[in-house]
Structure 1
Amino acid sequence: MSGTGSLVGRWAGRGTRGALSGLAAIGLAFTNLPLLVISIVALALSPVPFLGLALTPWVMSLVRMRADLERRRASRTGVLVTRPYHPEPERALPGGWQRFRWTVTDPATWRDLAWLLPGAVVGCGLGAIGVLLPLYGIVGLTLTPLWIWLGTGWYGYGVIWSAESIGTGLLCLPQGAVILAAGLSLAPWLRRVDAHFAHLFLAPTKTAELKLRITQLTVTRADSVDAQAAELRRIERDLHDGVQARLVSLSMVIGLADELLDRNPAGARKMLAEARESTGAALVELRHLVRGIHPPVLAERGLAGAVRALVIGLPVQITVEVDLPGRPDTPVESAAYFAVAETLTNLVRHSRARHGSVTLRHAGGVLTIVVTDDGIGGADPSGGSGLRGIERRLAAFDGTVALSSPPSGPTVITMELPCALSSPKTIPSSGTV
């Protein structure tokens, strides 16, 4: 019985959300017409010097905000509508020719404008059906109680409702229940129909998708080249300032020991002991350097084991949960590891957290990493916290980073990397460090 009640509750919840979303669609539909009118006026004034250059991009930004809202609403129904606009040109000043040209030459701008009127009609119509049908059923359910409460002298009428007698009043109850159930069942489906209609206008065309993909690949390739160049410079600097300096010093000490070997054996032995210590220090630095390129623990134990080893020495208690039925390719695994390492470094330095967690899972061809903490929150990617570096590192593999960090916390960082796993090996599901 509890299972049936839970199913009924979820069904009623989906229906209610669908009806409320239909009500929102009606309200938003009435914003489309003013936007269409002011867009036409702005385009008509575009030949006017200065005024047209400034007004048209501003109005089109409002249209894009409305279209983006509809894309998000469609995505909540399971219909993914990707944002199709061309990247904004560098140094495009407000009121300038570049910004005006970027706006009016983008085909997505005209598709947004073409959607405003039919989108308003379809959204308002489907929303009205999704709202009025459940309400009509509720009216049918309430007629009989009102008839009993107010007495036989009161009569209620609707299109099909009539409570002129107790017999007809009792018939309203099952009819209202059927219509209410039909309305709640239909409301989510109507929202999906509206979302698919918006997809026809607001989603990028195949050509636009290809251009956006090329642009994205160009940007990520440039970021990858820059990141690789920076990494090579770091390795060169570490070798030059660290290991190389120690090796030069070691060579000089051995040379002095060789000169003293016949004249002062005790001094030579002391210098050789110093050389041995320098050799050990150089080996330690080399291990750190290699660990920064590709940690041995990552190669030996995989991503799950490497992350567990990573959190052992942290001053914050970190729970690691893993659901990986295999291992990603080595480049993806390395990028994921260093992204987690950078995130945990930020957690320790800035969050003031007492507890945190790292979740690794793979489903639908996507490796998802979620890092959370109970700290003070307020993380800002523009504040130099390393999040931009993580985004650039993962973007080379079409990965994404999503941040939720309200003031007072908690902070949740979700990283996704499209990848396949190489083996069906099962990895233990959880552990606490």
Structure 2
Amino acid sequence: MRRGVSIAAVVTAVVLTASACGGSSSSDSSGKPKDPKDISGTITYWDTSDAATEAPTYKALVKQFEAKYPKIKVNYQNVPFTDVEQKFKSAAKSGKGAPDVVRTDVGLIAEYAELGYIAPLDGTPALKDTGDFNPVPMNTTKYKGKTYGVPSVTDTLGLLYNKKLLKRAGIAKTPTTWDEFIADSKTIKQKTGAFGTYLNPDSYFLLPLLYSNGADLADPAAKKITISGPAAVQALTTAKKINDEASMKVDFANAYQNMQTAFKNGKVAMLIQGPWSVSDDLTGTAFKGDEGNLGFAPVPAGAGGKAQSPTGGHDLTVYQGSTNLPASYLFTQFMTSTQSQIAIAKGTGTLPTRKSAYTSEVTADVKIAGFKPVLEQTARARVALPQVGSLFTPLAQNYVKILQGDESVKAGLDATAKQFQQLLPGYSLG
């Protein structure tokens, strides 16, 4: 589990800051910005995209960058997404082997910034035409009033559904509240034999229920842990009701795989899912050769009256200790430009973060077209805490116990809150 900032980390951050200050500058001796064509040197880029299906698109963009700026050489390295966090933190802490630019999960921005491993980008060439970015992914780059990343690709959770099953059940529109979601699920089961949904017991997929009930994991401004408050209890009570009354029986050992199989083969009508699942969905008997049967809608709203879902995706970040910051800024700018984002969307099927990148060619992709309005209507950044990733582990453990009936909702959330206190020193129970 990730803990708070250690003394060693603080010392490292100071060293890295000093190192960064001693590196190259993006200005000449008179203080005027350098001409980008005059910037030279070598930088290393860690790309975490899928090596087989996505990396070729990023490699092609690297070649285009080098052709545009021939004095800069990019050392491209594909690092598995599952390995990059520990690998980067180890390299940044030691000051040896860290990349100049790294593709970073949005949930890690606060932690990397707190540790001093990534550079603030405000006022640098890395941030260009920021008004063109969708404000939702742009919010993932912020920590304590500074900008530490540039949005590259984004995603969120929405409601995927089988149009034919809903039509057979006589349901004319998708549910807009969790109560409707449960009621529609029962109707679908009664009239079609298919299950209404399959509840994903992973804690990340619990966030739409928490958010839509006005709950969250913690409140950094008040330094309070809020996961056991009344709004969270209400959210988990609803989740338990979905599990007990609306969901296909959950196999907790293989929940994700079984959920996907059931949905894409027409045994489940509705899922809370992300755009990453669509390619797999379209291979199933319910949608293969009939992709128009796959529907997209926002997640339902809760007692808070507003449908909300977490923002995912990746931002490009610059290593604080880079010895070639000017080239790193320029590369980050290029890779997040409108044209680069169009190329990435067309090559990988991921959602762009720039509004201008949603061209007719890009939105010809069914999942991009389907999730674009969902992102704009319901997505919100996760709470900006360095420990946010670690909080999901105790929440997931107690969430499963609640769903299985081994803990009451209140007891499970109280236990979660106490575990959160170990990860959030100085926070009180809200």
Name the TM-score, length of structure 1 as normaliser. 0.19
Structure that is richer in helix per residue = 1
Relative contact order higher in (CA < 8 Å, ≥ 6 apart): 2
Structure number having the greater strand percentage: 2
Q: TM-score, normalised by structure 2?
A: 0.19
Pair member with larger Rg: 1
